Amino acid sequence: MNSSHNQIRFSDRKSKIDLYQIQQLLNISAFWANNRSIEDLGIAIANSDPVITVWDGERLIGFARATSDCVYRATIWDVAIHPEYRDTGLGSKLVETVLSHPRMNRVERVYLMTTHKQRFYERIGFQQNSTTTMVLYNQPKFNSLSVDVQLQESLGG
Ligand SMILES: CC(C)(COP(=O)(O)OP(=O)(O)OC[C@H]1O[C@@H](n2cnc3c(N)ncnc32)[C@H](O)[C@@H]1OP(=O)(O)O)[C@@H](O)C(=O)NCCC(=O)NCCS
């Protein structure tokens, strides 16, 4: 890393976010989030809160987002620090910034999925939880509801 931490800034302002820089960061940092489209990233970010970005000047070097009901449950998604900036504590500070956000800091349980960063998250306070997790790979049958439900809210926040 070329720069000192003094000029690194953390932000929770969605309006500042450049989706192209997010796309680029995820492409090089996050194997599960390669080739996400700008449009879909925009929808995901609009429907996430908090969204935390990390900046070295005008360069986006870190990203994480969460979804939260503010009381009972929240989940953290897409934690990434640019490879040139790793191993200096920024990733931990990024996750801690998400956890201390007002939409997160009184939530009873915070979940996240990780394939190989258990040690990193354990240092922050997370515990292994292999017994309760299930996943649904979404199926076309959920695209058209058979029951008579009118959804009032639309995507896009
Ligand atoms: C996971 C990730 C966000 C961590 O970011 P990071 O900035 O390297 O995180 P930190 O610097 O806080 O911690 C990383 C390691 O550096 C060590 N470290 C922290 N501060 C340090 C310092 N000042 N000097 C040396 N090492 C330090 C930590 O002990 C930690 O070790 P560990 O991984 O064995 O726990 C980053 O590796 C990443 O983006 N990886 C790819 C995407 C990914 O896997 N995301 C998580 C999926 S859920």
What digits encode the pLDDT tens for the residues 7-49?
999 999 998 899 999 999 999 999 999 999 999 999 999 999 9
Judge if the beta carbon of residue 80 lies within 6 A of ligand 1: yes
Q: Using an 8 Å Cβ cutoff, are 19 and 38 in contact?
A: yes
Percent of the chain with pLDDT over 70: 88
* C-alpha span between 58 and 25 (Å, rounded): 13
What are the structural domains, with CATH classification, of the chain?
5-142 (3.40.630.30)
Token pair of 123 as six digits: 């240092």
Q: How confident is the model at residue 53 (pLDDT cuts 50, 70, 90)?
A: very high
Judge if the beta carbon of residue 8 lies within 6 A of ligand 1: no
Cα(36) to centroid(ligand 1), Å: 23
Residue nearest (by alpha carbon) to ligand 1 atom 19: 89
3-state SS class at 82: coil
